[in-house]
Structure 1
Amino acid sequence: MMENWLTSSHWIMLGLLLGFAIAHSGLAALRPWGEEKIGARLYRVLFALISIPFATILVIYFFNHHYDGLTLWQLQTLPGIKSLVWTLSALSFFFLYPSTFNLLEIAALQKPQVHLYETGIIRITRHPQMVGQVIWCIAHTLWIGTTFTLLTSLGLIAHHLFAVWHGDRRLEQRYGDGFLQVKERTSVLPFRALLDGRQTLVWQEFLRPAYLGVTGFILLLWWGHPWLMSVTAKVYW
């Protein structure tokens, strides 16, 4: 029975997730050494040349195999479930892409820097990308309900939970007591620092062009999702 649903795609996805985690987190850990050797801009380009193709392969493979394996639940016909999944998915992108605030640094047009933030979405959670990934995984696992999607989601969440520790460690090494003070005033769990009174939400900090860009990206993704699925299906792996 196990051979009927535990397809090779499960193991391939595990390998891809592990490889991406090692490449992405490893390059982040080597950033101080790499920037010293080849400069911040060139290291950012190297980081992108490795991370972006790896992430693209992951996305395509997920699209092409997300219904593999055993179907654990089927909720797609429930009233309101589609709206819930799209709402959660849209919300996840507002957490996933706070780095768009420094788009010129991402593109290496400006010198990439390590920033110590305590405003905007960081008041809600110190690790918005982890929170966004968890929300995205919940939404897609709820909608699809297969063992392959559950495995992918657990792998992505595990990587981002590791990144919480890894990111805090790197910031502490770089900023020392300055980061420890920010750590005391913020929280990993969403809204915990706000509920504890350690933070106060300032709505004006969210009035940034980057959020308009994320909104446009969400609308574009919603419109082009069927096309994207059909294009990736032409990749035979």
Structure 2
Amino acid sequence: MLALLLAFAVIHSGGASLRVWGAAKIGERAWRLLFAAVSIPSAVVVIGYFLAHRYDGVRLWNLQDQPWIVPVVWGGTAISFLFLYPATYNLLEIPAVLKPQVRLYATGIIRISRHPQAVGQVLWCATHLLWIGSSFMVATCAGLIAHHLFAIWNGDRRLAKRFGSAFEELRDSTSILPFRAILTGRQQLVPSEFLRPAQLGIAIAVGVFWWAHRFIGLGATSFARTGLAHLLG
């Protein structure tokens, strides 16, 4: 699992670091399509392997019979989605229907954390580690969080190089830790900025995942077994 996560980190963060060079060579749209064509299949492999093996290793704890665990896990997971998917605000740029651009954001979720995907990933790891409790899940969370810690440093480095003083102003008025900039008076929360269609889409996605979760594990296990059978002939 750690090897797969490392490979995904190299592909994903490496592609992000090469964006300026790649866009200059083949254009923004072509680079985005190439980046997606490599990143998405590698993510599918990682997710499929995780789903098929999430209970592997040593079971360190089992809290699934506790009455409070389901609302805590689902509530935390739903909140993590609100941090994990800010890219849906520019959904048409993902398949390059609109020309992809690198922007500085200082509104909405960025007021809470400058790196919302890292916050969402940590929260997702915490809830799923609490639910699953396996040594495999511990290793998975360690790899995911390490990748996002690197992404925080790498992302700030790339934005500082690209935007200079404009990014320094953004960095000074925001924080990595959620709500820290708001609590210290460097930022203020504007609830109206969260009233966007993308937030409704995320809420619908949470509902769909909640309904489909009972089938995900069975499907992943079946997929993994079928794939292994084909590999072994």
- TM-score interval w.r.t. the shorter chain? over 0.9
Distance in 2, Cα, partners of 1:74 & 1:232? 22
Distance in 2, Cα, partners of 1:115 & 1:100? 14
Distance in 2, Cα, partners of 1:203 & 1:83? 24
Is 1:88–2:76 an aligned residue pair? yes
After the TM superposition, list the runs of 4 or more consecutive aligned residues in structure 1 that deviate by more than 3 angstroms.
none
In the alignment, what sits opposite 2:86? 98
Is 1:143–2:131 an aligned residue pair? yes
Distance in 1, Cα, partners of 2:197 & 2:172? 29
Is 1:153–2:141 an aligned residue pair? yes
Distance in 2, Cα, partners of 1:86 & 1:77? 15
In the alignment, what sits opposite 1:5? none
TM-score, with length taken from structure 2? 0.95
1:107 Cα deviation from its structure 2 partner: 1.4
In the alignment, what sits opposite 1:6? none
Q: 2:110 aligns with which of 106, 113, 122?
A: 122
1:133 Cα deviation from its structure 2 partner: 0.1
Distance in 2, Cα, partners of 1:216 & 1:18? 31
Distance in 2, Cα, partners of 1:187 & 1:117? 13
TM-score, with length taken from structure 1? 0.94
Distance in 2, Cα, partners of 1:68 & 1:233? 12
1:59 Cα deviation from its structure 2 partner: 0.7
**What are the equivalent positions in structure 2 for 1:21-170 lying under 5 Å apart?**
21-170=9-158
Count of aligned residue pairs for this structure pair: 225
- Any gaps of 5 or more consecutive residues in structure 2? 229-233
Instruction: Report SS of the residue matched to 1:233.
Output: helix
Deviates more, 1:175-184 or 1:76-85: 76-85
1:228 Cα deviation from its structure 2 partner: 2.0
Distance in 1, Cα, partners of 2:199 & 2:211? 18
In the alignment, what sits opposite 1:215? 203
